[in-house]
Amino acid sequence: MQHPLLCPCGSTQEYTQCCALIHQNPQQTPSAEKLMRSRFCAFVLDNADFIIKTYHSSCHASLSSSQIEQATKLEWLKLEIVSTQQNSNESFVEFKAWFNENNQLQLLHEKSRFVKELINDQWCWRYIDGEHIESIDTPKEKQQSAKINRNAPCPCNSGKKYKKCCL
């Protein structure tokens, strides 16, 4: 029996019951945090079209499509939601996302801003911008490039060694 694929967003749900639903119909995203999780999942699954589609129209994300596509080629490992502040039309989601680039562990720590936008007569959450945050708990030089030891625990928290998991 094959085990169901857990959603890369870290929700502990199966992908088909989690972010896949949002990927199929982004207008049905119930919250900015859920949109944030589904965007991370889209990076993991190399789904640049979804990422572009969920930017606010004022961002003109299609003009940056090659950069977005390049970012989806990275090895995204883990998402941690630090905090969420939501009101009716604007929301902030602070997150940490770890990825591997050239066998170097990288951390993207950002406070993203989401706003609602009217799309086909329906108000939908859309990413508009974000503020990068330097983590206090990780020295700056380690944030820039921390080489992952093959025998170290995998940063995705699978409990496996890095060489047996995300390498």
The domain defined by 15-164 carries CATH number 3.40.50.300 = no
Strand 90-101, strand 122-132: pairing: unpaired
134 — pLDDT class (breaks 50, 70, 90): confident
pLDDT for 62 equals 85
Specify the pTM: 0.80
pLDDT in tens, 99-129: 998 888 999 999 999 999 999 899 999 999 9
Measured CA to CA, the distance from residue 167 to residue 100 in angstroms comes to 9
Share of the chain above pLDDT 90, in %: 62
Specify burial of residue 111 (Cβ count, 10 A radius: 0-12, 13-18, 19+).
Answer: middle
pLDDT in tens, 4-48: 689 999 999 999 999 999 999 998 899 999 999 999 999 999 999
Measured CA to CA, the distance from residue 104 to residue 28 in angstroms comes to 36
**Is 82 within 8 Å of 73 (Cβ atoms)?**
no
Please report the DSSP string for 94-113 in residue order.
EEEEEEEETTEEEEEEEEEE
Instruction: Name the residue ranges covered by the structural domains of the chain.
Output: 15-164
pLDDT for 161 equals 62
Measured CA to CA, the distance from residue 48 to residue 129 in angstroms comes to 17
